[in-house]
Chain A
């Protein structure tokens, strides 16, 4: 991995790293000075970014890991893995894990399938451009705004129940956000309503980069529409697919605002995901140790997911 990012490097007076260093002729003193000054200047260019990241992101990250091994009481003694064992003993946290898993499946599968279908079907034609706009539009909304809209759809006297009653299906009308697992499912649908837009955009970019000759050749060989899709389009879309899956996976794991504004993780703690549980434990239940442990577990999952897709992405880009 590390070699894939050490790439083009300009020829420098001091020569390249390690093995490519010029074997003979030591540089004169003035040149040495110049090189040192170059280094300092380069450091100056990097310093703001490195300092901000180190101070605001990496240091807090390390602190959170450290904190997760201490208990929640005022004196906070070292408690080994007690906070992590909460995942096994606390029913709210096991529910949170279940919900997180549902979110991951729902936020990867739905935008992927819907985005791919919509992008392929609307790739040509003016009418389809309009249809596409309808799907992409929600992507510009924030999670909080999406939550406001969907609350309006899902409350007891909301639009969904109104439609059901209007169709004579009163029996199906219900408090959508009140019972588990239905409430998590409808929130995942609300999320998909918003997130499919970006998948559509990405798949379109991918579709448009497929050379038309390839498709024509396929058509000449008598491939049917479905065969063309299966054997020509889909393989060409692989790099984009990886990005779409990776993005939705990581976003789904981290999503906070939609759930927070819609249900605050409730009723009870039924709709919490790890992202929401962490906030809840830390700032509302005032159990910073448990909160830190949840944050660490979430980070491990996000890192594992990112690793899976980043590896592919860096390969694909050919850096």
Chain B
């Protein structure tokens, strides 16, 4: 092995170790039974108290309803965004629409604006319309935020599809509705899945709307519950907080690694 190779492998190993340390500490200390935590971080696993810690985190932060809520928000908003964006992409690319560029920018502009610019007007109008502190309210916001980027990906993908299939179907007298569901959706399925995964993760990870639009513990999403648990860090003890963080991260970690293929391919299209 040449000197360069050795050097390179050493650098890789050091970087990987450096990166692994926080993850390793997260897992190891989430394993330490909360009662026997000594006050300073553990580096090696000894007793196995993970499930005990998780169930304590579950009780103290009311994680049950929070996980259910986040699942609802993520699934419904991501799916709705994928379909709604699919409609819009279909209309602007396949159907004869005037001023395509205008519509593109109207919808796409949403991705360019930071969330901070929407939050107070939405907060006020929610307070007026009794959408405040409701699951419907959050689903609507999350869907609206997800649509622009979903549209961008779906549109990029729709551009690469062969036009002839649609034209042939139209000649045969198929309605647009039918063309959409029976030709467009099957052809764009992989883009739709990518969009779904992206937006699922984004909604699952949201904190800001979760702490602003909600006061009830049985409506709030999971990151708001985690932030709350972290706020009680010294009372509950680190192992429980870490176990909670691990628990609420599992869905996205699993989804991310099982759908990495889709991430990569949609990023490729995206270029």
Contacts and interface: CB of A to CB of B under 8 A. Distances in A.
Given A52-B147, A145-B226, A257-B208, A121 B112 contact: no
Contacts of B72: none
Given A45-B88, A193-B19, A275-B116, A56 B141 contact: yes
A219 interface: no
B120 A282 contact: yes
Contacts of A218: none
Contacts of A169: none
A259 B122 CA distance: 23
Interface string B84-126: 1101101111111110110111110110111111111110010
A53 B144 CA distance: 6
B84 A52 contact: yes
Contact of B249 (A67, A114, A145): A145
Interface string A138-153: 1111111101111111
Interface string A232-244: 0000000110010
Contact of B212 (A7, A59, A283, A306): A283
Interface string B60-94: 00000000000000000000000011011011111
Contacts of A296: 117
A42 interface: yes
A141 B249 contact: yes
A94 interface: no
A292 B120 contact: yes
B114 A275 contact: yes
Interface in B227-271: 227, 230, 233, 238, 241-242, 244-246, 248-249, 252-253, 256-257, 260, 263-264, 267-268, 270-271
A225 B7 CA distance: 14
Main secondary structure of the interface of B (DSSP, over half): helix
A41 interface: yes
Contacts of A46: 87-88, 91-92, 97, 103
Main secondary structure of the interface of A (DSSP, over half): helix
B107 to A, nearest CB: 5
B13 to A, nearest CB: 7
Interface of A: 2-3, 5-10, 12-14, 17, 35, 38-39, 41-43, 45-46, 48-50, 52-61, 63-64, 67, 114, 117-118, 121-122, 127-128, 130-132, 134-135, 137-145, 147-153, 155, 157-159, 162, 193, 196, 201-202, 205, 209, 225, 239-240, 243, 253-254, 256-257, 260-261, 274-275, 278-279, 282-283, 288, 291-292, 294-296, 298-299, 302-303, 306, 310, 313, 316-317, 319
Given A148-B230, A201-B260, 11 more contacts: A60-B119, A61-B117, A61-B118, A63-B121, A64-B117, A142-B207, A144-B245, A148-B245, A279-B119, A283-B212, A299-B113
